[in-house]
Structure 1
Amino acid sequence: MSYPDTYYRRTMMEEKVRPVLKGAADCDTVIIGAGLAGLTTALQLARAGQVVVVLEAESVGFGASGRNGGFVSPGFATGGEEIASMAGPENARKIHLLSIEGVDFVRDTIHDLAIEGARPQPGIMSVLRHDGGSSLKAYADQVARKYNYQLDYLERDEVRSVLKSSRYYQGLRDAKAFHMHPLNYLRAIAVEIERLGGRIYENSPATATTLDGPEKIVSTADGRVKARHVVFTTGGYTGALNGRLKRAFLPIATYVMLSEEAPDLIREAIVTTDAIGDNRRAGDYYRLVDGGKRILWGGRITTRAASASALAGELRREMTGTYPQLSELKTELAWSGLMSYARHLMPQIGQMQPGVWHCTAFGGHGLNTTAIGGKIVAEGILGQSDRYTLFKPFGLVWAGGLAGLAVAQLTYWKLQAQDLWRERAA
């Protein structure tokens, strides 16, 4: 298969190789991209009885959907105040509730399809790198009041009893959130789509489209698909096929490393099965995998492709700076992936023209948001709801091209500097 060498590829449970599209195919909806957004859309359409075709340029879950941190928790990459300023307070509330629904959707799908390989593990902890307990308590109270959603507040001693680092102060624990093996989840969904009659073609990149009129045509090198609806879910790997979509996001690379197997050493630093994310605007995230035998640690972004092994050195320095007791822990593997970020830092979900849909720009939003995006696009196609219109304020605005990438990298460095200054002042 054409997957990069990642922890998820090494522990992938389903190995089916799917065919290349050859000749003509007819369907109700054709979906371009077999990541989480595309497969969720296809799953919901197939469950409703539609005939669906999914075209994937590589293999199921090849992109960011199959090589990320595996976090499933509510929220978005941008803050609630920013969302409310663009969408209005009531719609902002509905949008946040969608992110909570997305967590439930992924959890229910794992249960309903008995996806053992997803290995869901409950609990995600968000921790402060500066003393700020009062602000965390206020936030937890606000979430409970507005969304009837409980976050457990942790004092500094409670945090440090399980995360043995002087870098950490207070925290919030989300018991309903969880982390999982994303690639096994995706490939199980693909199996279910096929069981329901859907067709998935791998190594079949779309090369051209005809989108005007009631019948849409998507062509590949060796075939073409006719459909009433087309859904673009290509994320950070979007090429020149749809210029409007490509101009509307920035491809941002993020990096992940996997430690060697060293459970006894790891227990000297981390004694929780929760996934961890810190509060820095340029922060890190990590979790134990293989039953606590290894650490999967992610973070850092670049706007140009960089060596994953070189960036892993930076990640490792961050890990050992946080946990000096892990200074002897070696890195076994490192990889990267491209995420798509819109200028407004929100997902881009909607209908570009009659019968032509997009569901993308999920960088930094977590697996739950990507999944709920696919679900509400399917609802729109089926005429079941117009919930996708909640994202209308977050449209396909130009992301700035090369200048936008430069600004994004400078902004990231600025955030890193601000984080460092705040920690030193604490």
Structure 2
Amino acid sequence: MSRPEMIFEGVTAHTGSYYAASANPSPERPPLKGDVEVDILVVGAGYSGLSTALHLAEKGHKVAIIEAARVGWGASGRNGGQIVNGLNASLQTIKKRYGADTANFVAGLVQEGGEIIRERVKTYDIQCDLKDGNVFTAYTGAHMRELEERLKLWQGYGINNQEMLDKEQLRKHVNSDVYAGGVIDHSGGHMHPLNLALGEAAAFEKLRGVIYEQTPAVHVDTEAAKPIVKTPDGSITCSTLVLCGNAYLGHVVPTLTARVMPVSTQVMATEPLGEARAAELIPTDVCVEDVRYILDYFRLSADKRMLFGGGTVYGGTDPHDIRAKLLPNMNKVFPQLKGVKIDYAWSGNFALSFSRVPQMGRIGNNTYFAHGYSGHGVTGSHTFGRILSEAIHGDRSRFDVFEKVPWYPFPGGRMFRVPYSAAGSWWYALRDKLGV
């Protein structure tokens, strides 16, 4: 059997990120050898897979996870570490496309992911530098109007954790001259994303869950009475299969390949800035992202580095020089950081859906999947993991709502989805520059 193309291309060590360099101790788990049978198998040890598996283990189910590389190897261990409430698609967009009932349903769970993360950290004593506060910044008057409309919309759904900030009020949180104002979401926050994943994996194992690392799925049979997943050195037969490979599932499950597109985003970490200098930049230690289509996002690490990210590459390839790509943006926001040493720079993929709404569903009767968080996966994946666990445990009420939400293919199919999306991002970036 020929092995399908895998996006990680055989690289199974953690990327050279600040997160990997500052990760909590974690065991190297052996790969699967031979043929085994389990009750529930989860493919992927990122947030979606870990959330699903941990919820199921708490309900008493016997669950195993296979991971192609290491726990948190993909987006879950590389992202900006920001707890941002909501989906990529706005509640207004969801209401317009799918109706008021779906919008009301989504509004009821947009803060759930952050609540799950905080509950996990508290219950299992996960050391991941969790802090509160998320600020959205605006460059233009048009951006401020957009934020005001969003604030009123969320308040209309009973979500009252946010408040507008004018230019001077914003400076108390983000000491930069480039912004016109913003919004603070007190229920948002930030943390060390890889340590969160490692902590959730340890919690799962304490509940007798099993994780096989260095074990990619090379073939998946969803048509059998019991799904079968073949790996390089064995196979797993299960009663229920959950696919959580997201941007790194590759072409192993062709049914899902066309549904999402891998997109890379980049992050860099400065040298430690010291308490005083860091407090001058972000006085309240919140995390920040702007509201442009291709946005910047940044925050301080526990040891007071500036973690600055942004940019996208459609198709999931890495830029030639990440530092050169991100430095001008960071220096624009914080000119006082010009000349600072950059200790780490890395890239990673997230899965983009055409509608910017995450997808959840089934293949046949016994195979479930969730993917396509479109850059909002930290919270969305934790929520979707809980909903998947509810469905597998017997309560399909929330799962059925998302399963019925229609998904749309990328125009031009797999061949043209990258240039189409790149052209679209260029247009929206131009609108941001023009302030319209």
TM range (shorter): over 0.9
Aligned twin of 1:358: 369
| CA distance 1:312–1:390, shift in 2 (3 Å) | farther
* TM norm structure 2: 0.92
Aligned twin of 1:123: 133
1:321 partner SS: helix
2:217 partner SS: coil
Alignment check: 8 A CA contact 1:73 1:178 kept: yes
Alignment of structure 1 residues 1-400 onto 2, 5 Å = 2-116=13-127, 118-131=128-141, 133=144, 136-263=147-274, 264-291=276-303, 293-308=304-319, 310-395=321-406, 397-399=408-410, 400=413
Give the C-alpha shift of residue 268 in structure 1: 4.2
Flag structure 1 segments of 5+ consecutive residues without an equivalent. none
1:31 partner SS: strand
Flag structure 2 segments of 5+ consecutive residues without an equivalent. 1-11
Aligned twin of 1:420: 433
Taking the aligned partners of 2:67 and 2:271, their CA distance within structure 1 comes to 33
| CA distance 1:134–1:235, shift in 2 (3 Å) | closer
Give the C-alpha shift of residue 143 in structure 1: 1.6
Point out the more displaced range, 204-213 or 395-404.
395-404
Alignment check: 8 A CA contact 1:207 1:218 kept: yes
Point out the more displaced range, 151-160 or 3-12.
151-160
Could you list the per-position Cα deviations for residues 108-128 of structure 1 after superposition, in whole angstroms to 9, with x for gaps in the alignment?
111111112x11110001111
Could you list the per-position Cα deviations for residues 358-411 of structure 1 after superposition, in whole angstroms to 9, with x for gaps in the alignment?
111122114111111111011111112321222235445433213011111111
Taking the aligned partners of 1:202 and 1:396, their CA distance within structure 2 comes to 31
Give the C-alpha shift of residue 276 in structure 1: 0.5
Could you list the per-position Cα deviations for residues 121-140 of structure 1 after superposition, in whole angstroms to 9, with x for gaps in the alignment?
10001111113555534432
| CA distance 1:144–1:313, shift in 2 (3 Å) | same
Aligned pair count? 421
Taking the aligned partners of 1:309 and 1:162, their CA distance within structure 2 comes to 33
Letter of the aligned partner of 1:280 in structure 2? R
Letter of the aligned partner of 1:121 in structure 2? K
Percent identity reads 28
1:332 partner SS: strand
Alignment check: 8 A CA contact 1:30 1:53 kept: yes
Give the C-alpha shift of residue 106 in structure 1: 1.1
Give the C-alpha shift of residue 417 in structure 1: 1.6
The answer to whether 1:408 aligns with 2:418 is no
Letter of the aligned partner of 1:43 in structure 2? L
Give the C-alpha shift of residue 331 in structure 1: 1.6
Letter of the aligned partner of 1:210 in structure 2? D
Taking the aligned partners of 1:63 and 1:304, their CA distance within structure 2 comes to 15
| CA distance 1:367–1:217, shift in 2 (3 Å) | same
Point out the more displaced range, 3-12 or 152-161.
152-161
* TM norm structure 1: 0.94
2:156 partner SS: helix
Alignment check: 8 A CA contact 1:350 1:391 kept: yes
Taking the aligned partners of 2:193 and 2:422, their CA distance within structure 1 comes to 27
| CA distance 1:67–1:390, shift in 2 (3 Å) | same
2:399 partner SS: helix
Letter of the aligned partner of 2:130 in structure 1? P
Alignment check: 8 A CA contact 2:265 2:311 kept: yes
